[in-house]
Structure 1
Amino acid sequence: MNQLLSTIVRTLVAVATLSVAAASAQAQGVTGDAQAGQKKADMCIGCHGIVGYQNSFPEIHKVPMISGQSDKYIVASLTAYKKGDRKHPTMRGIAGSLSEQDMADLAAFYTAQGGKAAPDAPKAADVAAAALVEKGACASCHGANFSKPIDPSYPKIAGQHADYLYVALKAYTVEGNKFVGRNNAIMGGIAKQFSHAEMREISKYLAAQESELAVVPQARFR
């Protein structure tokens, strides 16, 4: 069963990668500028620039760490919020105000802030949780150590906040809600095979892995 699921995931990934490539081709010529992105990040740092900051929608959870994510993933996620494929009222409002150049600049800024794995981050040893992660074939997309995605438009998930990962996984199972949910055929198919309790275990396991992600406080919050 796991082998079959992995095969299905690889097939879906191939199709999705072609779609990403097509979208990237449309955006050719848009190069991000980290210094310009820093000047545009005021709308971001109020949540992503405060250590331990929590969001209360759709439930209380830490906002994701975005420093150290790839620039293409940040652009892809902002585009998904702008299009409504990711349903979060605040993020959709913010993303809707951004041009392709704005997104590229912000992505360059946040990408430049990461890149070093935490040397003392604990390795998860939960065998049952590891089996769930294997069942979900997470490494098929998110790569070695869940920190080297096979496509740069996919996120690094190692070390990400467990409560955020849990909320994100649940969002892929939501249908027909105007304010909550994420439209992604690959992740929807994977997430729907797990119970909420299993999603929590997967999220805790991934959060315990060594990470390149971080919250980098801006000067006003240090």
Structure 2
Amino acid sequence: MNKLFTTIFAVTVSCVTVASLAQEIKGDAKAGETKNAMCIGCHGIKGYQASFPEVYKVPMISGQGAKYIIAALNEYKKGDRKHPTMRAIADSLTDQDMADLAAHYSADGVVEVNGATDPKTSKAASKEPSVEVQALLNKANCASCHGANFSTPIDPAYPKIGGQHADYLFVALKAYKTENNPKVGRGNAIMAGMAKQYTNAELKQLAGYLASVEGDLKTIPQKKFR
């Protein structure tokens, strides 16, 4: 019995130690700026379009939340997100690389006023949704997770989506509805349940409105010299 207790205690301590080490990984924005060579070819070019699974503007990631960037990269690495190019890139990154890149992009382009970050996320939507779009937003209660202006998510691991490219949002939302496809799809059960409530035409309406909302996201071209 004592031997069993000792074994359980040792395993518990080991798990706690591993969890503690994982929590101690802190991103270094400066280091992230030197590790983004695989990112800037798409995310550092304004208006750049991907062609898989269809033509759409790649998402703006400068100004995105750091914890969401890490969560998304881990989902690609695990295969929960199936985009082949992003999976290959994520698979090449260590936990420290992800933390550094997230720190870099979450701060990239953020404007400070009198030493404080400009609170853009406190701004309201740039325009009120139509009655039809408001009904669609209410159907899945989108604001309950992503915030009233869709740029203040209740959990930092959730994305800011206000102002994101409409065509990207549409493709991303459709991906949550896709099943049994080895190259297309996203495995988040909560978002899958939300997205499946809508037709693709309705998802396109939602994406169009969300893109019109003023937010923090932007594309910052790569500097010519580091």
Please tell me the TM-score bracket, short chain as reference.
Answer: 0.7 to 0.9
Q: Are residues 85 and 147 of structure 1, via their aligned partners in 2, closer, same or farther at CA, if it must alter by over 3 Å?
A: same
Aligned amino acid, residue 201 of structure 1: Q
Compute the displacement of 1:130 (Å). Answer: 1.9
TM-score normalised by the chain length of structure 1:
0.85
Unaligned runs of 5+ in 1: 1-22
- Contact 1:69/1:114 (<8 A) preserved: no
- Cα-to-partner distance string for 1:153-201 (whole Å, 9 max, x where unaligned): 0000000000000000000000000000000111000000100100000
In the alignment, which residue of structure 2 is the partner of 1:69? 64
The 1:104–1:192 alpha-carbon spacing in structure 2 relative to 1, beyond 3 Å, is: same
> Quick one: structure 1 residues 184 and 120, their matched pair in 2 at CA, closer, same or farther if it must change by over 3 Å?
closer
More off after superposition, 132-141 vs 75-84: 132-141
Q: Distance in 1 between matches of 2:191 and 2:167?
A: 17
Q: Which secondary structure state, in structure 1, belongs to the residue aligned with residue 64 of structure 2? A: coil
Counterpart code for 2:154: I
Q: Which moved more, 1:149-158 or 1:138-147?
A: 138-147
Conserved? CA contact 1:124–1:208, under 8 Å: no
Count of aligned pairs? 199
Q: Which residue of 1 aligns with 2:146?
A: 142
User: Are positions 1:169 and 2:162 aligned together?
Assistant: no
Q: 1:206 to 1:26 in 2, by over 3 A?
A: farther
Alignment-derived partner of residue 186 in structure 1: 190
User: How much identity, in percent, do the aligned residues show?
Assistant: 62
- What is the alpha-carbon distance in structure 1 between the residues aligned to residue 84 and residue 33 of structure 2? 23
User: Deviation of residue 122 (structure 1)?
Assistant: 3.7
Task: State the 1:133 CA deviation.
Answer: 1.1
1:53–1:62 Cα contact (<8 Å) kept: yes
> Does residue 1:34 correspond to 2:34, yes or no?
no
Q: Which amino acid aligns with 1:74?
A: I
TM-superposed deviation, 1:131: 1.4
The one-letter amino acid of 1:72's match is K
Counterparts of 2:215 and 2:66, CA distance in 1: 17
Secondary structure in 1 aligned to 2:23? coil
> TM-score with structure 2 length normalisation?
0.83
Instruction: Say which one has the larger Rg.
Output: 2
Distance 1:46 1:69, change over 3 A: same
Whether 2:205 is the aligned partner of 1:210: answer no
Q: Deviation at 1:27? A: 2.1
Q: Does the CA-based 8 Å contact 1:162-1:204 persist in structure 2?
A: yes
Structure 2: gaps of 5 or more residues: 1-17, 111-117
**Structure 1 residues 141 and 26, CA, compared in 2 at 3 Å: closer, same or farther?**
farther
> Would you say the 8 A contact 1:32–1:101 is kept in 2?
yes
